[in-house]
């Protein structure tokens, strides 16, 4: 599609998953699906997205992202483009373990305060994840006027941090809830919306909702 202006990038985190429900760091486990709450969120998200026009849709290959997209795609009849570089962080040997257990590990302190120094055992570094994810966004934004991108909490946090001009070591200050929407305008890197859940019936806003204290994997969101 010919472009005559900048690109609006609509970033959506997958809806609440069975791993979120259990407090487990899912990583790239493709057996993880949507929780009952997540299935409701996917329907509400579809209704909201149907009010917007997208030139292209991109997604992580993992099931929880594709399941989140399914209600919208069934109505819009649009095609989703899988991008491997939008996949969840490779947490290596940390994958599949309870966050309550992982939070007791010595490396947890560095993950919260200096993530740029962290490489997961048998996995990737935050820097590598940020580089691959942001490159996809920059490349596709050159071709379209508005795109929809489905990905994961930490991935979207890294993209948001980059366009906010924040160092990677500050990205844990950003919250990205399940089924939330963030919007960035390129090439100017204007962050228009961040972590909006106003389209969800469960949304309570930052006041009155209990926020997950485990800032890894995007967190579980407001419970």
Claim: this prediction has a pTM higher than 0.85 = yes
Helices (H) and strands (E) in the chain, counts: 7, 6
Give the model's confidence band at 4: pLDDT under 50 very low, under 70 low, under 90 confident, else very high.
low
Q: How confident is the prediction for the chain on average, in pLDDT?
A: 91
Give the model's confidence band at 219: pLDDT under 50 very low, under 70 low, under 90 confident, else very high.
low
Q: Residue 213's pLDDT is what? A: 56
Contact assessment for residue 13 and residue 152, using Cβ atoms and an 8 Å cutoff? yes
Give the least confident one: 100-104, 113-117, 119-123, 203-207: 203-207
* 124: in domain: yes
Give the range of the structural domain holding residue 144, as residue numbers without chain letter.
7-196
How far is Cα 155 from Cα 158, in angstroms, rounded to an integer?
5
Give the model's confidence band at 210: pLDDT under 50 very low, under 70 low, under 90 confident, else very high.
very low
SS3 content of the chain, % helix, strand, coil (to 5): 40, 20, 45
**Start-to-end C-alpha separation, the chain:** 41
CA distance readout (Å), 71 to 11, 97, 156, 173: 17, 30, 21, 31
**Strand pairing category for 181-186 and 7-13:** antiparallel
| CATH code of the domain covering residue 126 | 3.40.50.1240
* 223: in domain: no
Q: Residue 214's pLDDT is what? A: 58
Give the least confident one: 136-145, 173-182, 195-204, 214-223: 214-223
What is the domain count for the chain?
1
* 205: in domain: no
Q: Residue 130's pLDDT is what? A: 98
DSSP secondary structure of 28-68 = T-TT--B-HHHHHHHHHHHHHHTTS--SEEEE-SSHHHHHH
How far is Cα 59 from Cα 148, in angstroms, rounded to an integer?
8
Q: Comparing 210 with 48, which gets the higher pLDDT? A: 48
- pLDDT above 60: residue 146: yes
Contact assessment for residue 223 and residue 209, using Cβ atoms and an 8 Å cutoff? yes
Q: Residue 77's pLDDT is what? A: 87
């Amino acid at each position: 599609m010919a472009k005559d202006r900048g690109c609006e990038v609509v970033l959506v985190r997958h809806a609440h998953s069975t791993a979120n429900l259990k407090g487990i760091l899912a990583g790239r486990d493709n057996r993880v699906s949507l929780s009952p709450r997540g299935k409701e969120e996917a329907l509400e998200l579809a209704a909201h997205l149907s009010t917007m026009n997208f030139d292209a849709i991109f997604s992580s290959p993992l099931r929880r992202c594709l399941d989140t997209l399914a209600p919208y795609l069934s109505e819009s009849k649009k095609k989703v483009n899988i991008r491997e570089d939008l996949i969840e962080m490779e947490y290596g040997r940390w994958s599949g373990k309870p966050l309550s257990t992982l939070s007791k590990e010595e490396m947890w302190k560095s993950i919260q305060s200096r993530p740029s120094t962290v490489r997961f055992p048998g996995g990737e570094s935050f820097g590598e994840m940020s580089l691959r994810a942001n490159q996809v966004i920059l490349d596709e934004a050159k071709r379209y006027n508005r795109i929809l991108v489905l990905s994961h909490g930490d991935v979207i946090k890294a993209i948001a941090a980059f366009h906010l001009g924040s160092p990677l070591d500050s990205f844990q200050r950003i919250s990205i809830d399940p089924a939330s929407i963030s919007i960035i305008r390129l090439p100017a890197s204007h962050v228009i919306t961040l972590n909006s859940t106003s389209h969800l019936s469960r949304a309570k806003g930052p006041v009155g909702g209990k926020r997950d204290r485990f800032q890894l994997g995007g967190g579980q969101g407001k419970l």
